[in-house]
Each structure stands twice: as C-alpha cells, then as structure tokens.
C-alpha cells in the first residue's frame, strides 16, 4: 500500500479505537468543567452586562489554552508510539505492509481529530452558554471561530511535539508535564525573543485582542496577558512549522529506531 | 530446495546481554520447529526475521528481500506474537477487520477474510465479544487468526500452543499441518518437545542464543537418547531391586535417596530399563510405589548437550 492510503487506513482504525478507550471518556468528562462553569456564571450574571461575560469567556480560554489542550495533547500525543510499545501491540502494526511513518501520521491525525472534537464540543457549549445574552451580535461568532481556530492550531502543534517526545523517550509523560505546565507557563512571560520558544506565545498572539473599557488600550485579560505578540501570519506559520517539524522528526525516528519491549 | 528465510551470522544483544549469537539458518518450505527453553533466543530470532528488530551483526532475508524497513515483504508474512497482548476494547471481529485494512483490501474482501479466519480458529460465534472478555485459549486463537487472515505464504508463530487446552492444541496442530499441505512455509517455536514433535520432523534446537543442533526427529531423539536419564523408583524393598540390576550394562549408576525407600538409577537406555523393571516387578513381586524421571525434559537435554 502506498503511504497516503496507509495513513488513511491507520487513521480509520485508530479513530475508531480512540473513541472506545477509557482515556477518551475521562477527557470528554473533563471537557464538561467549563460548560458547568459557564452555566454557573450565567446564573450568577443573570441580567448583567455582556462585557463581564466576555471577561469570563477569556478566563475559560485560559482553561482551554493552558490546560485542556495541553493535557489532551500530552496524553494522546505521547501515546501515538509509546502506547504501542508499552502495550506490546507494536508487533501488530510493524509486521504489516505499512510504511512506518504512515503509522505515526495516521495515529497523529486520528488522535488530533478526536481531541479537536472534544475541545470543539466543550468550547461551543461553554462559549454560547456564557454569551447567551449576545447571540445577536455577529462579532460574537467571529470571536468564537477565532478561539476554535487557535485551539485547533494549538492541538496540532502540541500533539506533534508530544508525539516526538513519545517517540524519543521512554517516560515522555513526565518530560511532557514539565514542558507543558512548567516551561510553557514560565517562558511565555520572558521579554524579548525568549518567549518565542514557547508554543503558547504564538497561540496567544492569535487571540482576539479586546481592550479594557476605559483601559487606555491595555488588554483586560490578566491571565491571557501577552508581552510582545507575534504578527498573525507569522504566528500561524510558526505553529504550522512547529507541528510539521516535530512530526517529521517523529516519523524519521520511528522509522530508524528499534523498540524493545520491557520484560 | 531454496531457502524461504535466510539468516546469516545473526547476532543481537540487548545492552550487555547476548540475545542471539552468530546464528545462521535457512528455513525451507514446510514446517520448521524452533525448540528451546524460555530465554533461549527463539523470540529474538523471530523478531529479527519479522523486521521488528535490527540485527547488530549479520543479515536476514525473506525470499531474498531484506526485512528491516521493507514493508512490502510483509504482504506475504503472517506473524503471531508470543505475548498475550491486544487492543482490548475491540471485538474479535473488529480486531481482525481493523488489521486487514492494512493490506489494502476492499471492504467486502476484508469481511470475507475475517469471517473465514475466525471460522478456521472456531471463533465465529464469539466474534462480537470484546477481546477483553475472551478466555486465554480464545485470545490465543484470535492471535493466530490475525496471522493467517491475509493468506500469507509464510507463517511465523511464536509459542502458538501455549495456553491452549488439549483440544485447542490438537485443532491448532492440525491447522498448522494444513498450512504445510497448502505449500506454505511455517516457522513455529515452542519450549515443549512433544508439541514440536507433533508438528514437524524438522527441528532447530536453540539454547543461549545459539543453534545447538538441527535436524530431523530421529537425529534429535538420538541426542536425547545419548543423554543419561535419571529415574527414581520408590519401592518397598529398594535394596532387593538394586540387587536385581547389578551388572546390567545399560545402567551407569545406582544410588539410594535420603528417604531410604527410593532407588535412583542413571541410564542411557531408558526404554530398556523400564522393560527390565516390569519383568523384575512381575517375577520377584517387589512392590513399586512410584516411578519418576526428574530430568526427562527438554531443559535437561539442553544442559546435557551444552555440557557435552
């Protein structure tokens, strides 16, 4: 089979398998947290200004951007190759007429779509519950789409990075946790070019910038604070580049590396 | 006959541990049995010839093609791993149809092949149950089914009979023999001599990463016969029993065990000894309570051969 067809078949198999796992059920439930939060805030904010809802929406985005997509990408990305080795099921894949990179790419695509579906459902519900009072404003839908797009790009970039980690390291989860919740959370606040060594910097650069009412041009989003955002085009290119580079590395390593099961 | 699988001077080590040491082997059409105790290097050899591992030294080819990073070669190979591992959250049917997708078959052909393979291993009626809920024997059979579903020319089975009940073993042995009559090449491993003996007369003895001997059953039997057997006979009168065997040239050594009731005999001619023992028991009326042969196993044969 050629590589595109192999990727398609691997994608189909693992998209099907991925929906069945306990991991997916747990993470789907985790996605209900912002929805519940949105319902609570809506009840508390009943009849109040839509601007406060927008602030809370940004707080929700912190959950999505700095927790939900990172933890999803960490667990699904590292498992692209590592779970096959840990569960010793790799034999079922590499003794088939499939190019090894197709295994990585197909599983990556299957898991990325699965994650995007979970994030999209959670974001849609929480966003529109939170902003129920502003449903007639066309700008609201643009904001929603830009949030969804940013999260989608985040999933692609983070998952590629964690796929690479899982291909290289035996205990990739630990290193991934340090990267996702240590490095990413700290380095983005470094001034100058240092912040550009984090993925979240480019994601935040893409978020709609909403000046505070009477804030003299300053952004209100404390948690979504960004120092020196990269331009939209460059940020998109950087995220796509990060994703492509780490995926290519993961494919190359998976092809060259020999995986031994632990006895 | 041309070799289907050819391994030349294969060596593989895991860190400081030598898994396989300078192994050269040519596997021809028909059934070849790889026999050796656990940890002998059988699985390592099978992983090398199925491209799951790369040899440190040496080469391995299947039908003249290299196997490492050569996916095309796997269209004609079916592999049944030793480990009892699966994608647990799928049914037997989903497992098979899922793996058959990787051969590029059309959906109708996938269904047909999966149904046929499950039928062959007697799992047709359990095909919609989750693998997680399968018994050990059923899991073993579905593993074999995934190895044969694509109708491979070469079937490589790593300890396929382990975990099967006697009936399951008999069925699988018949199935493997059918592969041979269909002109396939089968390489099967086991650490149990009678299992391999039931499958084929062509045996390769593996021990400590090396090929110790290879040949047909009579040759291996000869090696085993050359191995002095230890037989313990617990009797009401072990001394009288020993006296009857004094001067018997087939017996190398006789001792009494610590319990004072067991005669321990070492002989090269086990069958002769048992024949004479029956006569002695019948003629002299010596009561025999228990006969055991503690070293009548493959490990003992290997130890004997290695020591030789």
pLDDT at A224: 57
Chain A residues within an 8 Å CB radius of B83: 88, 91, 261
Question: Of B196, B224, B252, which residue sits at a domain end?
Answer: B224
Q: Which tokens hold the place of A45?
A: 């904010």
pLDDT in tens, B145-184: 999 999 999 999 999 998 788 888 888 999 999 988 888 9
- Same domain assignment for residues B88 and B206: yes
pLDDT score at A218: 46
Overall average pLDDT of the B183-212 stretch: 89
- CA distances to A77, A233, A243 from A239, rounded to whole Å, are 16, 10, 6
Q: Which residues contact A232 (CB under 8 A, 6 or more apart)?
A: A205, A206
Chain B residues lying within 8 Å of A10, measured CB to CB: 102
**Cβ partners under 8 Å of residue A13, min gap 6:** A106, A110, B98, B99, B101, B102
Same-domain check for residues B119 and B206: yes
**Six token digits for residue A161:** 């990075």
Residue A217's pLDDT is 43
Which residues constitute the domain of residue B112? 5-224
Residue A92 to residue B81, Cβ atoms within 8 A: yes
User: In this complex, which of B69, B71, B98 lies closest to A13 when CB atoms are compared?
Assistant: B98
Does residue B50 sit in the same domain as residue B144? yes
Q: Bridge-partner residues for A212, per DSSP?
A: none
Residues B122 and B74 in one domain: yes
Q: Does residue B84 share a domain with residue B197?
A: yes
Same structural domain for residues B183 and B66? yes
The string of pLDDT tens digits covering residues B38-70 is 888 999 999 999 999 999 999 999 999 999 999
Least confident residue range of A232-241, B144-153, B190-199, B212-221: B212-221
> Looking at the structure, do residues B270 and B172 belong to the same domain, yes or no?
no
Least confident of A87-96, B225-234, B272-281: B225-234
- Are residues A17 and B99, on separate chains, in Cβ contact within 8 Å? no
Angle at B30 between CA A92 and CA B101, to 5 degrees: 25
Residue B286 vs residue B156, higher pLDDT: B156
Mean pLDDT of the region B261-278: 84
| Closest CB to B74 among A17, A96, A261 | A96
In A, minimum Cα distance to B54 occurs at A258
B282 in the same domain as B181: no
For A12, the closest of B74, B83, B101 (CB atoms) is B101
The answer on B240 and B133 residing in a single domain is: no
Predicted confidence (pLDDT) per residue in A38-68, tens digit? 888 888 877 665 667 777 777 888 899 999 9
pLDDT tens digits, one per residue of B70-105: 999 999 999 999 999 999 999 999 999 999 999 999
Q: How many domains does chain B have?
A: 2
Strand partners, B185: B30, B154
| ipTM, 2 dp | 0.85
For residues B209 and B232, state if they share a domain. no
What CATH number does residue B266 fall under? 3.30.70.100
Query: CA A48 to CA A231: how far, in whole Å?
Result: 34
Q: Same structural domain for residues B124 and B236?
A: no
- Domain chopping of chain A, boundaries: 3-132+150-256
- Structural domain ending residue among the three candidates B191, B224, B257: B224
Question: What is the model's pLDDT at position B224?
Answer: 65
B31 with B175, same domain? yes
Neighbours of B295 (CB within 10 A): 15
Residue B227 has pLDDT above 90, yes or no: no
Q: What is the pLDDT of residue A130?
A: 86
Confidence at residue B295, expressed as pLDDT on a 0 to 100 scale: 55
Q: Taking CB atoms and an 8 Å limit, are A97 and B52 in contact across chains?
A: no
Q: Give the separation between CA A175 and CA A166, rounded to whole angstroms.
A: 10
CB contact under 8 A, A89 and B87: yes
Q: Using 70 as the pLDDT threshold, list the residues of chain A that sit under it.
A: 47-51, 209-227, 262-263
Q: Which residues of B touch A89 (CB under 8 A)?
A: 85-87
pLDDT value of position B298: 59
């Amino acid at each position: 089979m050629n590589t595109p067809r192999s990727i398609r078949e691997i994608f189909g198999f693992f998209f099907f398998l991925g929906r069945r796992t306990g991991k997916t059920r747990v993470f789907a439930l985790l996605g209900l947290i912002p929805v519940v939060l949105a319902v609570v805030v809506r009840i508390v904010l009943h009849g109040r200004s839509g601007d406060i809802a927008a602030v809370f929406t940004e707080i929700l985005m912190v959950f999505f951007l700095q927790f939900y997509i990172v933890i999803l990408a960490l667990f699904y990305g590292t498992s692209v190759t590592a779970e096959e080795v840990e569960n010793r099921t790799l034999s079922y894949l590499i003794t088939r007429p499939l190019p090894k990179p197709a295994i990585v790419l197909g599983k990556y695509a299957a898991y990325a779509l699965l994650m995007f579906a979970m994030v999209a459902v959670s974001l849609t519900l929480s966003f529109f519950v939170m902003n129920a009072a502003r449903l007639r404003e066309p700008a609201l839908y643009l904001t929603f789409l830009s949030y969804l797009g940013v999260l989608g790009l985040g999933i692609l970039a983070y998952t590629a990075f964690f796929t690479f980690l899982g291909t290289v390291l035996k205990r990739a989860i630990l290193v991934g946790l340090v990267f996702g919740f240590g490095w990413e959370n700290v380095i983005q606040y470094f001034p100058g070019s240092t912040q550009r060594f984090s993925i979240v910097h480019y994601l935040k650069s893409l978020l709609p910038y909403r000046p505070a009412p009477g804030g003299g041009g300053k952004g209100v989003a404390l948690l979504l604070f960004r120092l020196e955002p990269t331009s939209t085009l460059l940020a998109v290119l950087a995220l796509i580049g990060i994703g492509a580079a780490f995926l290519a590395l993961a494919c190359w390593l998976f092809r060259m590396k020999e995986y031994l099961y632990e006895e | 006959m041309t070799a289907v699988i050819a391994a030349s001077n294969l060596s593989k080590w895991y860190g400081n541990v030598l898994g396989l040491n300078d192994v050269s082997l040519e596997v021809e059409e028909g059934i070849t049995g790889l026999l050796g105790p656990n940890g002998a290097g059988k699985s390592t050899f099978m992983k090398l010839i199925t491209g799951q591992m790369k040899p440190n030294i040496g080469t391995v080819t299947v039908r003249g093609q290299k196997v490492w990073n050569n996916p095309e070669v796997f269209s004609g190979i079916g592999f049944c791993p030793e480990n009892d591992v699966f994608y647990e959250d799928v049914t037997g049917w989903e497992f098979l149809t899922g793996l058959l997708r990787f051969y590029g078959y059309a959906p109708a052909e996938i269904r047909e092949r999966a149904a046929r393979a499950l039928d062959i291993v007697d799992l047709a009626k359990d095909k919609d149950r989750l693998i997680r809920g399968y018994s050990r024997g059923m899991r073993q059979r579905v593993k074999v089914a995934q190895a044969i579903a694509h109708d491979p020319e070469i079937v490589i089975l790593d300890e396929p009979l382990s975990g099967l009940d006697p009936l399951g073993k008999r069925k699988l042995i018949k199935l493997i023999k059918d592969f041979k009559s269909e002109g396939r090449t089968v390489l099967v491993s086991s650490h149990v001599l009678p299992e391999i003996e039931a499958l084929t007369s062509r045996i390769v003895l593996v021990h400590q990463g090396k090929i110790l001997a290879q040949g047909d059953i009579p040759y291996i039997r000869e090696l085993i016969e050359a191995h002095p057997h230890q037989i313990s006979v617990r009797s009401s009168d072990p001394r009288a029993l020993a006296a009857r065997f004094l001067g018997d040239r087939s017996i190398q050594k006789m001792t009494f065990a610590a319990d004072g009731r067991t005669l321990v005999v070492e002989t090269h001619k086990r069958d002769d000894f048992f024949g004479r023992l029956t006569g002695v028991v019948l003629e002299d009326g010596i009561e025999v309570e228990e006969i055991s042969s503690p070293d009548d196993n493959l490990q003992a044969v290997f130890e004997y051969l290695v020591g030789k």
